[in-house]
Amino acid sequence: MIIEGYFAVFDSVYEIAPGMSESIASGAFSNSIGGDVRALINHDTTLVLGRTAAHTLELREDTRGLWGRVSVNPNDRAAVDAYERVKRGDVSQCSIGFEIVSEDTDYRDDGSVHWTIRDLKLWEVSVCTFPAYAETNISARADQKAEIEKRRLQAWREKTVKKLKGDHDGT
C-alpha cells in the first residue's frame, strides 16, 4: 500500500488572510530533502504514516514541486484507514509543516502583501482533509493564527520603515 503525490506545488498562491498571500518558489525544499521528515495524518503527531529516517517516506523536489511516497504499514489501523480514504478519493490532498528560512516580500500597489518562500525547513508532510493549497494532489499548509499575526506585523513594520526613509515604492 502506497500513498504518493505532490505535497507542495511551486508558485501556487495561498491566501493567508485578506490582502496577504504566499507561494513557494522552486528550490525551496532543496535544503530539507535530506532531513528527518515525518508523514502524518492531518498534522497529528500521534498519527505517523511514515518517516524519511525509517525509509518509509521518500521525498524529492522536481520542477513541479515536492513529490513524496509513503509506504503504508498494513499493521497500523489508522494508516490503513488513511490509505483507504485516499484510495476512495475522500482525501486527495495534503499539507506541509515547515519553518521559513528565507522569503521575498512584495508590497503590491493595491495594498496587499505577497511572500515568496525561497528556503524552508520542512518538518512534516500530511495527508490532509482541508489543504490550504488546492492545486496540490496531496499538499498544502495549515494556517496558524499566531504566525499570520507575526507576519502581518512584520510586513507593517517593513512598510513603515520604507515610508519613513522616503522609499515610496514600498506603498
User: What are the tens digits of pLDDT across the range 53-72?
Assistant: 999 999 999 999 999 999 99
Q: Which has the minimum average pLDDT: 13-17, 60-64, 111-115, 154-158?
A: 154-158
Q: Are strands 44-51 and 38-41 parallel, antiparallel or unpaired?
A: antiparallel
Beta strands in 108-160 (DSSP E): 113-128
The owner of cell 513603515 is 160
Quick: pLDDT tens for 17-49. Answer: 888 999 999 999 999 888 899 999 998 999 999
Query: In the prediction, which pLDDT does 144 show?
Result: 41
Sign of CA dihedral 45, 50, 54, 55: negative
Burial class (CB in 10 A: 0-12, 13-18, 19+), 127: buried
Query: What is the average pLDDT across 147-167?
Result: 74
pTM: 0.75
